[in-house]
Structure 1
């Protein structure tokens, strides 16, 4: 049995996995969606990036999970990638779902264009230290129904800004982790350059989904099947 620890991206909480969790449990596995500090039902909890890394490690250790598959979506690939090396032999695989990946000494916004980085920093400065959630129009073209978009928008909460600007801390190369990268093709047909390089290694695999950046909403059953396949040796 694999224990899946599921971490959604910016602005989202554990609720984002509501349609994926039953599929994993029905297949006989554990499923543990995590809400990171400062988000959803944990609003008001101070958080930097290392807080989010510790949130994930704490979930694994508190439940004494073994045979763990860590799943990080979007922003959360950064803390998940760091947590993966910190849980040691409890880890079986990391699954990055259309996500950023950590680089030692680099932040979430390090690789962004100067305009993109400035926009995020302006949002944080104008929202008392938080990155403002997207609007409904921002989800167009991502394979989502109007109902799914409304659900995401209604459930989203401002994201703690410090988690986006603080650097990642890695003790060893990310390519040494056993990993699957899920690329959602409506959000670009190729992974980022750093992910492409990681995929040249023996321990990384690529899986593509014909949907947008939020597959836990647009194609939850298909995503669950990919997670189950990824956890199978």
Structure 2
């Protein structure tokens, strides 16, 4: 199966390299995406540009692909399910939940000169980053790509309720499946509360399992694709 891999803020498609290699060995066809504004020098990229790139990948995939979003990009994966509910076989959300209609995509941190730079590790202390050693932290920070303002502040538009019929797997890294269920039950992830087929998978990692547990993450994705 084609498995589209969409990384979260400040990351490009190369962050999936180890996961992709494992997925190939397990018989799947991984497609890591590098979206507009992720290292192509285009600080003018918008959320619409990134959505269009994701949809182009869905449309060109063989059969019905599985779409994987990490962190903020869980919303991009969900937008793909909304725009192509008949084409997307499953949506996998790694360490995040989709933003609802009418809300901004990811304006979580300070904007400077038209971009949202990586804010350093202070906001991620605790379970998010507990499994990252200093070398990995330095490597992630050094490779971090500032997010264009037009992406971070873009407004999410959801239009097709058939998205709720697309099966969803929530992969839980820095939180547990029980915590994810509690959050959904409390109304903090209203999009997921309406999903017909919703499953959870635990992974013993922080917020970036593609760095610290790539083989296990690939195993979970392969199981979901199968």
Q: Fold conserved (TM > 0.5)?
A: yes
> For the residues of structure 2 that align with 1:57 and 1:38, how far apart are their CA atoms?
16
| Equivalent-residue separation in structure 2 for 1:100 and 1:43 (angstroms) | 28
Partner in structure 2 of residue 65 of structure 1:
62
> 1:188 and 1:47 mapped to 2: Cα distance?
34
Mapped contact 1:20–1:216 kept (Cα < 8 A): yes
**C-alpha distance 159-15 of structure 1, shift in aligned 2 (>3 A):** same
Label 1:200 to 1:88 Cα distance change in 2 as closer, same or farther (>3 A): closer
Instruction: Indicate whether 1:130 and 2:127 are aligned.
Output: no
**Cα offset for 1:189?**
7.0
2:143 counterpart residue number:
155
Give 1:205-220 correspondences, 5 Å limit.
205-220=199-214
Aligned length: 217
Q: Quick one: distance in 2 between partners of 1:104 and 1:73? A: 19
Which ranges in structure 1 are unaligned for 5 or more consecutive residues?
110-116
State the partner residue of 2:83.
86
Q: Where do 4+ consecutive residues of structure 1 move more than 6 Å?
A: none
- Deviation string for 1:120-167 (max 9, x for gaps)? 2xx21xx21111113245554421122222221121110012222222
- Give the TM-score of the pair, scaled to structure 1: 0.83
Distance 1:37 1:154, change over 3 A: same
Q: Report the CA distance between 1:58 and its aligned residue.
A: 1.3
| TM-score, normalised with respect to structure 2 | 0.85
Task: Give the aligned partner of residue 50 of structure 1.
Answer: 48
* Aligned-residue RMSD, C-alpha: 2.4
Secondary structure, counterpart of 1:4 in structure 2 = strand
Q: Aligned to 1:228, which of 215, 219, 222?
A: 222
